[in-house]
């Protein structure tokens, strides 16, 4: 069994509903969701380019999937999650936009987001004592020969190459696409997500996902609400 700590929108929010329909699965319930027919992107094609995203559930990785360290129970992880969330103030991502990362379409910050990066860094560090060391097979799965020296150091120290200075917040929407398809799919994604991305995106909870067995779909185990900003609350 593996766990992961992700940012996800509230499944009941407009953003959450649009995301579930795009990838074809609600990670809260685990149930499939019908893909829409979009201008220039039909439901069947959308289903074919969202397969991996569908298994992992719509998310942004903060603490990549990990096994629990020896002697650590799921209850310990949940308690750590609740404690961390209670001490971490909710905030907004100034903007998210549809962008491209190495041929993948994803939602990415539209401008610098230092508070978001600091949040991601704190999640990586806070839950590290609960993570089991990577096995040789898990290391090889990351294709270490293709990583930069910094990414390899992060992999061996933190269990994931893309943390801290290598972190790039993104919410994956597709598999890697052929160049001729990118602009068309980007346009469809912008139209689909536009109602939810018209303003700042709220980060109000930290989501714990679980993979019950290798290859199984990840589902939301629990969502821990972040602390209220007292200045905002009384303003």
Query: Which pLDDT tens digit goes with each residue over 111-134?
Result: 999 999 999 999 999 999 999 999
Report the chain's mean pLDDT, rounded to a whole number: 95
Residue 230 has what pLDDT?
Answer: 56
Query: Is the predicted pLDDT of residue 232 greater than 80, yes or no?
Result: no
Mean pLDDT of 220-226: 97
Query: Is the predicted pLDDT of residue 234 greater than 50, yes or no?
Result: no
Residue 233 has what pLDDT?
Answer: 47
Q: What distance separates the 2 farthest-apart alpha carbons in the chain?
A: 52
Residue 119 has what pLDDT?
Answer: 98
**What's the pLDDT band for 235 if we cut at 50, 70, 90?**
very low
Residue 110 has what pLDDT?
Answer: 96
Residue 112 has what pLDDT?
Answer: 93
**What's the pLDDT band for 74 if we cut at 50, 70, 90?**
very high
Query: Is the predicted pLDDT of residue 105 greater than 90, yes or no?
Result: yes
> What is the fold of 2-228?
Cyclic Phosphodiesterase; Chain: A, (3.90.1140)
Question: Which of 174, 185, 181 has the alpha carbon at shortest distance from 38?
Answer: 185
pTM of the model: 0.94
Residue in this structure with the two tokens 């040789």, named with its chain if needed: 136
Query: Is the predicted pLDDT of residue 166 greater than 80, yes or no?
Result: yes
Residue 228 has what pLDDT?
Answer: 86
């Amino acid at each position: 069994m593996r766990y992961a700590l992700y940012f996800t929108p509230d499944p009941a929010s407009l953003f959450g509903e649009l995301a579930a329909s795009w990838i074809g699965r609600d990670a809260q319930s685990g149930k499939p969701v019908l893909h829409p027919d979009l201008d220039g992107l039909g439901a069947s094609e959308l289903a074919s380019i969202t397969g991996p995203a569908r298994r992992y559930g719509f998310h942004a990785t903060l603490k990549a999937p990990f096994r629990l360290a020896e002697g650590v129970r799921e209850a310990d992880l949940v308690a750590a999650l609740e404690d961390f969330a209670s001490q971490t103030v909710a905030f907004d991502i100034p903007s998210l936009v549809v962008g491209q990362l190495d041929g993948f379409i994803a939602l990415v910050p539209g401008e610098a987001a230092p508070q978001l990066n600091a949040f991601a860094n704190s999640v990586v560090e806070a839950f590290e004592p609960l993570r089991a060391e990577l096995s040789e097979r898990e290391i090889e799965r990351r294709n270490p020969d293709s990583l930069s020296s910094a990414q390899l150091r992060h992999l061996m120290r933190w269990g994931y190459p893309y943390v801290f200075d290598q972190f790039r917040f993104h919410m994956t929407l597709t598999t890697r696409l052929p160049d001729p398809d990118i602009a068309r799919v980007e346009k469809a994604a912008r139209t689909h997500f536009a109602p939810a991305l018209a303003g700042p995106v709220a980060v109000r909870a930290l989501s714990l996902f679980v993979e019950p067995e290798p290859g199984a779909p990840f589902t939301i185990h629990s969502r821990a609400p972040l602390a209220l900003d007292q200045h905002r609350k009384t303003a």
